[in-house]
Amino acid sequence: MDIDILKRGAVAGFVGAMVVVLWFLGVDLVRGEPLATPAFVASALLGGSALAAVPAYTILHFMSFQVVGTATSWAMDRLGVVAPTLLGLAVGFLLFDLIFYGSVLSTGADVVAELGWPPVLVGNFLAGLAVTHTIHRMQGERRGGWLSEALQGPVVREGITVGLVGASAVALWFLIVDAAQGQALLTPSALGGLLLAGETGAAAMGVNMTWVVGYTLVHFGVFIGLGILLAAVAATGDETPPLVLGTFLAFVTFEALVMGVVALLSQFLPHAWWTVAGANLLAAVAMGALLWARHPSIARALSSDEVLVAAE
């Protein structure tokens, strides 16, 4: 790996790790419990006395961000043209997902629930943005082009189609799952009650058609927005092969976004988190297959060395 990539990754990883440290130091001070967060996480992940585990956890924390920084630096170098804010949000959601699923699967402790999801999510967003913008500044100014594609009529039309396919796949999945359990439309009703009325116990109240309709509109609107983003990146990749990797960045963002939302909302849903994750995977496959079929240049570019050449 190029030494410049490693340098940028090392600096960005350190910056990202420090952002998390300072963020939770501030959160703990506001709560009147200095170092409560690192002590809890260290004890949950490493075991033993909370305060005694903090030094070892701190070393692990900074080492982990070195890996994150290096991987992100390599990806941004290969992309050549990248929106650091978009990638930063994706990295932040991926970090959030790793904390949630990693802690649950490895130790059984739900670290996110214990610490509260808002500070964990915001902290990881800040860290992801710090990592990508540090690398971006160290790389120097690079031009992008995918955003302008989103304003083109054909891209919007294709994006709407892609979004509708993904939204319909998820809706159909949960219609089948709910019907199999004798509670058709319970999932959109529960999500509608939570998102539109702040009702955390909506899943136990049965089906409310007002919530179903309201959530369905939000659901399709979000997927159409994501579809337009994916279509814009794919269209730009037709003209600029290095930006084909941007299509995968957009998919990573999509996957990380939905998996993060699953982590946040899993305790309020009538189904296990893996069922919701399955719906997300189905939508990603359906949307990806449609874009793949409509943009054969993506397959050609991925088999060509052009995709690894950074754009000037």
- Looking at the chain, list the stretches that DSSP marks H as alpha helix, in order from N- to C-terminal side: 3-30, 36-46, 50-79, 84-106, 111-115, 117-139, 146-149, 153-180, 186-197, 209-239, 244-265, 273-294, 296-302
The domain limits of the chain are: 3-139, 147-308
User: Residue 150's pLDDT is what?
Assistant: 47
Give the global pTM. Answer: 0.56
Which pLDDT value is given to residue 261? 66
Instruction: Answer for the pair 212, 189: CB distance below 8 angstroms, yes or no.
Output: yes
Q: What is the pLDDT of residue 34?
A: 80
Give the C-alpha separation, 148 to 235, whole Å. 10
Q: What's residue 310's pLDDT?
A: 40
Task: Give me 21's structure tokens.
Answer: 């440290």
Q: What is the pLDDT along the chain (312 residues), one digit of tens a residue?
A: 688 899 999 999 999 999 999 998 888 888 788 878 888 877 777 666 656 667 888 888 899 899 999 999 988 887 665 567 777 877 887 787 777 666 656 666 666 667 776 788 788 889 999 999 899 888 875 544 444 444 556 778 888 899 999 899 989 998 998 898 888 888 888 888 887 777 777 777 888 898 899 889 888 988 888 888 778 777 766 555 555 555 566 666 666 666 666 666 666 777 666 777 788 788 888 888 888 888 776 666 555 544 444 433
CA distances from 132 to 74, 75, 127, 200 (A): 11, 10, 9, 35
Residue 173 in tokens = 């999945």
Name the nearest CA neighbour of 235 among 290, 148, 155: 155
- Cα dihedral 12, 16, 19, 23, rounded to 10, equals 170
